[in-house]
Amino acid sequence: MTLHLDPRAPWVVSTHELGRRPGAMKQMHLTLPAPAETGVDMIGVPRGADVELDIRLESVMEGVLVTGTARSPLRGECARCLEPVTSENEVSFQELYFYSAEDAAEDDLLLDGDLLDLEPVFRDAVVLTLPLSPLCSEDCAGLCVECGVRLADAEPGHGHEVIDARWAKLQGLVPEHNNDQES
Ligand SMILES: [Zn+2]
Ligand SMILES: [Zn+2]
């Protein structure tokens, strides 16, 4: 589980000032470009969008505890009508980065010297908050099953001749039947 972080990578943060002294603390405000693939199929944070982070780095015995919030735009499409959906996302997270792999479990994050990578924590936090079926509006009527037109954009009472024709046929049969009985 060795990792080598690039100190120039935007999401890599230095904890050097903390000096590995338990109790030492550092607050940071960062604006970082959203990493790729932060999201699920239908919705996510657009790559490169501004992510506003407020984080606190706290030195503890085993490593550095990171607590923070991240605000970012969201973009996706409505699960019913496929119109673009835009909104904002705010997530909170807390993660302990371990100094040594010996103290950490397999899924735990490690520091690389003084460096830690915020990207996986941000990505996981965002994905957990995303709706499985994003909607353009709570009561989106979706698409017409016959022609695929977006019902919100269609004429009120949008419908198709297929159904009308069937009714007309039935209506035509009824009087004939009645006439037979009368005669
Ligand atoms: Zn919709
Ligand atoms: Zn239609």
In tens, the pLDDT along 7-27 reads 999 999 999 999 999 999 999
Residue 154 identity (one-letter amino acid): A
Give the Å distance between the CA of 163 and the centre of ligand 2. Answer: 11
Give the Å distance between the CA of 144 and the centre of ligand 2. Answer: 5
SS (H, E, C) 149-177: CECCCCCCCCCCHHHHHHHHHHHHHHHHH
pTM (2 d.p.): 0.79
Tens-place pLDDT, residues 134-149: 999 999 999 999 999 9
Give the Å distance between the CA of 43 and the centre of ligand 2. Answer: 27
d(CA 24, CA 21): 6
Q: In percent, how much of the chain has pLDDT > 90?
A: 80
Nearest ligand, measured from the Cα of 158: 2
